[in-house]
Amino acid sequence: MRVVATYLALIGGIAGLPAAGLAGQSMSAAEFDAYTRGKTFYYGRDGSAYGGEEYLDNRRVRWSFLDGQCQDGRWYEESGNICFTYEHLDEPQCWSFERGARGLVARFESDPSRLELYEVEQSAEPLHCLGPDVGA
């Protein structure tokens, strides 16, 4: 009985971890495209909402920090990473993506601190984006 209780406690602890703790191998561009295209993903970091990205056809994307402001961009594969370019950023943002037990795990490869995000939710709905300078 004690073994069962310990096992259940361990499983409960793992279930509370972000998907990053159970990540697998990096996804190829084809795997990433098949998994994300036509969907909106919401990402978390350290238990808090971080942002959302809408994955469109032809490797187009729309990113938001969930503040109503959105940036359009594109993605491509480079050196095994998925790199994003956005309309108001000069440098590409390169990430490695893995399938974890509870969804995507994204690691920012363009920075030595390696920011790590995890999939919180998927949706078929587009991101909520306000028009340019709304309320200004």
Tens of pLDDT, residues 102-135: 899 999 998 868 899 999 999 999 999 997 655 5
Domain residue extents for the chain: 22-123
Residue type, position 84, single letter: F
Q: What is the pLDDT of residues 42-76, one digit of tens each?
A: 999 999 999 999 999 999 999 999 999 999 999 99
Query: Per DSSP, what are the bridge partners of residue 62?
Result: 54, 72
The model's pTM is 0.78
Strands annotated E in the chain: 40-45, 48-55, 60-64, 70-78, 81-86, 93-100, 103-108, 116-123
Q: What is the pLDDT of residues 16-26, one digit of tens each?
A: 444 444 446 99
CATH topology of domain 22-123: Lipocalin (2.40.128)
* Calpha distance 72→1 (Å, rounded): 55
